[in-house]
Each structure stands twice: as structure tokens, then as C-alpha cells.
Amino acid sequence: MTDLVKSSGVSLLNLILPKESVVRVSNAVSKAGAKGVFQISARGSVLNEGGFLQRMFPPPAPEQLLLQALVPDDIINQVTEAAIKSGNLDKVGSGAVFSMSCNDAQVSKSFPTNISSDANNSEDNQSAASLEAICCICEKGIADDIAKAALQSGAPGPTVTFGEGGGVRDKIPMLRITKGPEKEFVWCVVDKSEADDVFSNMARAGRITEPGRGFMYSIPVHSGLINVSSTVSSSTHGANMEQVISALDDLKGGKDWRAMPDLSKSKSLKSTFLNDLVGLYCIVPRDHYDEVYDSILETGAPGVSTNFGVMIDAESADTEQQQNEEWALVYTSVGPDSVESLRDTVSKKISSLGIAQFAFYTLPIPKALTYLGG
């Protein structure tokens, strides 16, 4: 089996950017020390503040790109600062940067990364999470309703990515032909104080507790700056709602004023949540993702999802020029006791396929929701 470089001092850097700033920001974070930046196509979500005609004929969803990279904790701050400066991410509507502390990461020696086995948990890795990322995996065509619910709950513009997903049902041939594998993934990052309400409203909009509707989960975010566009406004206004809310945050000295109680309705979601899961993520060349996908299901995992993208390697040893390669991010959620055996099984499968470049990382999932039967 391939030798792996293992580290528990790694964060997953996430960037949500408009297309026009991607090259500038990706070059800046690469120079700051990030390697193996995984780029996924996405679209934004906005509410229309205009008049009747604008609401009847809304503009197309803004094109976005989601960038992710495994970054050692000892340089995560400098990489984040480079992203903010190069992308002007402190400006309203410019995008977002946020990091999640991984439980651990294991990468093959030829995988494009600067992770070393000497990296240990740092202070950044141990800091309390101030934000929360929420992801909803749903059938194609449902994402817009879920994103709208998140926006109306106060979440900054959710990002929608595309991919595949499946579960136990996919092992039954007759059912596989009745339900396609195409999925949409709705992402948003909110303050922890707002996370429960946003999560509940997104779950209601997607009817996640009904059979076959999808899967939702949350991940702690330890630092971030979220300035993605949330509204499209009429040109007759001097400022849009995002700018008004930002100004009120400054005047109020924070965001606590947003949590004023809404007594007109109960926002709590009466359901049974899955708690304290672990997300296991595997990055492999796209040509081999289906074998990895199937091996995860064969181990008994309840579900598996895949996003596709390109790997930006700014320091290729072969050409010394930037190269783009197609890759897949394959992941599942399991109990903590199942992580090691699942990773070992998938590692053996990868080795049998002769894949030299791959990576695993794990993230904590404190809360998840899906149909549980009964």
C-alpha cells in the first residue's frame, strides 16, 4: 500500500470567488504557500430587490468558482491574508474566504501539497469556531428553493455546486434506473448564533426529512470573511441591502442585533438529528473516481457524494507552468469508529488501481439531517 504523509495540523482553505478574480487570487495564495488548489464550478444565489418586472424576470445567477486547498496550520493565516488582499475580499460582494480545521490529513508523497508529517496541532487548529458552514445535498432542480430559504433567513448568498451522489438505494438495480445520480450542493457560511435557524429553514425548503430528498450537515468554521453577493438591487437606490446591513453592523458594534426574536413563527425543526459524525474526503484523478465511489458504498457507508473540478498546480516540476488536471472529490459521512477501517479499505482500492496522487482528509460534522425511516 502507498506510503502516506500524515498530519493533524492541517486546515481546509475555502474561497468563493467571482470568475474575474480567480486567477489573481489563486496566484496569490499559491505564492503564499498553498499548493494543490482544487477548483469547482459553481453559481451564486441572490434575492432581487427591484420592482415587479425585475422579480418576474430575475437576472441569471452569478457565476462563481469554489477553490479549496489543504494548508498547514502554521501558514493558514498568511495564505488567508494573501487571498483577502488580492481579491479585495473585505469589500461587499467580492467573495469569501474561510477555513475549517481538519481532524487529520493523509496525502500520497506525489500529491501536490506542502503538508509534512512534522505538522502538529497548532493554536489555530484548537481555536473555537466562530462560524458554521451548512451544506445541503439535494436532487437536481431543488437547490434554488433551498438557497432562497437560506437567503431569507439572513445567510450571505449561498453557493451551489454540482456533482453526483448515491446511497444504499443504489445497490438495488431496479431502483438505480428510477433515480438519477445528479445532485446539487447548496453551501452557505453563517454566524454560529444564526446557524440553527438557517439550517432548519433550508431543511424545510428541501423537505430533507422525507424519503430520497437528500442530506444536510454542518461543519465548524474557525475563521472567515464572508462578503458574497446576496441581493440584486435597482439602480434607483444609493445602496443595496447588503451595504445597509453592513453599515448597521458597524453602528451596532457587531451582528447580535440581527438575532431579534421573531415571535410570529417557531423556527425550531422538530426532527431527529445525527450527531458527531466525521466527514471522510478523498481527492483522486477523475478517471478513477467511480471505483473509489463504489468502494465506499461497498463498505456499508450510508451515502457517497462527488464534486468534480480541476487542480491548479502553479509549480509543476515537469513544465514549470500552471497546469489544470481533472480531479474528483469523493466523500461520505460516518461514525468516528468507522473512519479508519473505511479509509484503509479505500486506500487498498486506490493502490490496486495504481493511483499515485491522492489525498484523504477528515472534518468534524457535529450535526446532520436526513430521512431515517420509520
The C-alpha atoms of residue 352 and residue 348 are separated, in whole angstroms, by 6
User: What confidence score (pLDDT) does residue 18 get?
Assistant: 93
Residue 131 contacts residue 14 (beta carbons within 8 Å): no
Residue 221 contacts residue 131 (beta carbons within 8 Å): yes
User: What confidence score (pLDDT) does residue 209 get?
Assistant: 92
Q: How far is CA 327 from CA 47, 58, 111, 138, 343, in A?
A: 32, 33, 12, 22, 19
| Closest listed residue to residue 150, CA positions, set 185, 99, 186 | 186
- Asked if residue 120 has pLDDT above 80, the reply is no
Residue 105 contacts residue 6 (beta carbons within 8 Å): yes
The C-alpha atoms of residue 7 and residue 360 are separated, in whole angstroms, by 11
**CB-facing half-sphere around the CA of 333: CA atoms within 13 A:** 21
For residues 20-37, one letter each, b for 16 or more C-beta atoms within 10 angstroms of the residue's C-beta and e for the rest, the string is ebbeebbbbbbebbbbbb
Query: Does residue 62 sit in helix, strand or coil?
Result: coil
CB atoms within 10 A of CB 317: 8
The 8-class DSSP code of residue 172 comes to: S
User: What confidence score (pLDDT) does residue 264 get?
Assistant: 42
| Closest listed residue to residue 155, CA positions, set 16, 331, 283, 311 | 16
Q: What is the mean pLDDT of the chain?
A: 83
User: What confidence score (pLDDT) does residue 292 get?
Assistant: 94
User: What confidence score (pLDDT) does residue 256 get?
Assistant: 62
CA 191 from centre of chain: 16
Which residue has better confidence, 208 or 236? 208
Q: In the structure, what pLDDT confidence band is assigned to residue 62 with cuts at 50, 70 and 90?
A: confident
Of 31-40, 165-174, 306-315, 350-359, which gets the smallest average pLDDT? Answer: 165-174
- Asked if residue 186 has pLDDT above 70, the reply is yes
DSSP H stretches of helix in 254-338 = 289-298
- Asked if residue 42 has pLDDT above 60, the reply is yes
The C-alpha atoms of residue 199 and residue 363 are separated, in whole angstroms, by 18
User: What confidence score (pLDDT) does residue 258 get?
Assistant: 57
Q: How far is CA 7 from CA 31, 107, 117, 180, 285, in A?
A: 22, 9, 5, 37, 22
Q: Of all residues in the chain, what percent carry a pLDDT higher than 70? A: 75
Which residue has better confidence, 234 or 113? 113
Mean pLDDT, residues 103-120 taken together? 86
For residues 265-275, one letter each, b for 16 or more C-beta atoms within 10 angstroms of the residue's C-beta and e for the rest, the string is eeeebeeebbe
Mean pLDDT, residues 248-265 taken together? 57
Burial, 283: exposed, middle or buried (Cβ in 10 Å; 0-12, 13-18, 19+)? buried
**Range picked from 177-191, 203-217, 218-232, 256-270 for highest mean pLDDT:** 203-217
- Which residue type does 109 have? K
- Asked if residue 172 has pLDDT above 80, the reply is no
Q: In the structure, what pLDDT confidence band is assigned to residue 89 with cuts at 50, 70 and 90?
A: very high
CB atoms within 10 A of CB 238: 8
- Asked if residue 341 has pLDDT above 90, the reply is yes
Q: Which contiguous run of DSSP H or E holds residue 202?
A: helix 192-206
Q: Of all residues in the chain, what percent carry a pLDDT higher than 90? A: 64
> What does the chain come to in residues?
374
User: What confidence score (pLDDT) does residue 52 get?
Assistant: 44
Tell me the whole-structure pTM to 2 decimals.
0.85
- Asked if residue 321 has pLDDT above 50, the reply is no
Of 12-26, 171-185, 226-240, 331-345, which gets the smallest average pLDDT? Answer: 226-240
Which residue has better confidence, 212 or 366? 366
| Closest listed residue to residue 13, CA positions, set 133, 186, 123, 111 | 133
| Closest listed residue to residue 101, CA positions, set 241, 278, 269, 285 | 278
**DSSP E strand boundaries for 85-172:** 95-101, 104-108, 131-139, 159-167
